[in-house]
Amino acid sequence: LILYGKEVADKLSEEIIEEVKKIKEKGIEPKLAIVRVGRNESDLSYERGAIKRAEKLGIKVEVVELQEDIKTSDLVECLERINNDIYIHGILLFRPLPKHIDENTIKNSINPIKDIDCINPINVAKVMEGDKTGFAPCTPSAVIEILNHYNIDLKGKNVVVVGRSMVVGKPLSMLLLNEDATVTVCHSKTKNLKEITKKADILIVAIGRAKYINREYVNNKTILIDVGINVDSVGNLCGDVDFEDVKDIVSDITPVPGGVGAVTNTVLFKNLIKACKLQTE
């Protein structure tokens, strides 16, 4: 079975639209602030997608574009303005930030209650604790949404996550653990990766290497979730999995594009609605 992200995103969108209606009936307009430093092409492309999605959901977006050479203190000031703006309920700050900016200071400058992409360490800690009052990062949450949508039970399952970044692998491992999965986390220093991945009930790959995972890493029962977004040698988008090589072998697989990436920005708005309710109820 091909696990399409669009189906999941459409379902989530319906739920969000309902929530937005209820919030608007109370005279509140849910609003996201996108804070972008510089004009990185992948940030711009994500931003365009988010604006389009927000329009469909009836959510307002304010884009704050800042100069590449902005000082840490000025960025903090900008975030504080947004923290104090009662008409803005969530903040998306694109990272990585330029090297001269002190990322630690910035992380702590976003009010945790508006931190809908889990940058502030307080929200990271809540993910660790399984405390659902916080915000989990969007990409790992999108993976969980896909598994839930397709009724893939996690309890007691042997789940292997390849990748341990703070954006995907590590928080995802915690979310899976919170769902009672038995989780193995692999990374670039893991020995015998193939032997470990072959034994997984569910294999989730977030390594950032085009088509790296092929038929040698899977078995015929593997449920394969590909988080990777890469450009292949001829310029097409592809995942970390060699889709053509494994698709007829594994039990289920997410495509790229059209898999996890298609759900990520909908999850951002799901978190925005949660933030809006927390701030206004």
The site for ligand NAP (CB under 6 A) is made up of: 139, 162-165, 167-169, 186-190, 193, 206-209, 227-230, 240, 260-261, 264
Q: Residue 238: what are its φ and ψ, rounded to 5°?
A: -150, 165
Half-sphere exposure of 58 (CA within 13 A, CB side): 16
Q: How far is the CB of 256 from ligand NAP (least distance, A)?
A: 8
- We find the least distance from the C-beta atom of residue 144 to ligand NAP, in angstroms, to be 13
Q: How far is the CB of 271 from ligand NAP (least distance, A)?
A: 14
Compute the least distance from the CB of residue 227 to ligand NAP, in Å: 4
Instruction: State which residue, 88 or 207, has the beta carbon closest to ligand NAP.
Output: 207
Residue nearer to ligand NAP on the CB measure, 78 or 254: 254
Rounded CA separation 62/33 (Å):
5
Sheet holding 158-162, edge to edge: 182-186, 158-162, 202-205, 223-226, 252-253
Taking CB atoms, the residue at the shortest distance from ligand NAP is 165
Distance from C-alpha of 97 to C-alpha of 93, rounded to nearest angstrom: 9
Please identify which residue in the block is written with the tokens 């990322």.
Answer: 103
**What distance in Å separates the CA atoms of residue 56 and residue 14, rounded to the nearest whole number?**
10
In the complex with ligand NAP, which residue's Cβ is closer, 111 or 190?
A: 190
Tokens 């341990």 belong to: 164
Work out how close the CB of 208 gets to ligand NAP at its nearest, in angstroms, rounded to a whole number: 3
Are 116 and 72 spatial neighbours (Cβ–Cβ below 8 Å)? no
* Least spacing, CB of residue 22 vs ligand NAP, in Å: 28
Left, alpha or beta for 247 (phi > 0: left; psi -120 to 50: alpha)? alpha
- Closest to ligand NAP by CB, 49 or 98: 49
In terms of CB distance, is 94 or 247 closer to ligand NAP?
94
Nearer Cβ to ligand NAP (112/163): 163
